[in-house]
Amino acid sequence: MSLKVQAPAAEIRTQVKVPFRFPDGYTTTADVFTFTGLVDGKEHLAIGLGDYRDNPIPLVRPHSECLTGDVFGSERCDCGPQLREAVEHIAQTGGFLLYLRQEGRGIGLYAKLDAYALQDAGLDTYAANRALGHGDDERDYTAAAQMLAALDATKIKLLTNNPDKVAQLEEAGITVDETLPTQVHLSTSNARYLRAKVDHTKHTLVF
Please give the positions annotated as active site: 137, 139
- Cα–Cα distance between 37 and 32 in angstroms, integer? 17
Paired with 114 in beta bridges are none
Element (H, E) at 144: helix 142-150
Query: Strand 45-49 vs strand 27-36: parallel, antiparallel, or unpaired?
Result: antiparallel
Q: How many Cα atoms are found within 13 Å in the side-chain-facing hemisphere of 123?
A: 15
* Residue count (the chain): 207
- Cα–Cα distance between 60 and 78 in angstroms, integer? 18
Neighbours of 80 (CB within 10 A): 20
3-state DSSP assignment of residue 59: strand
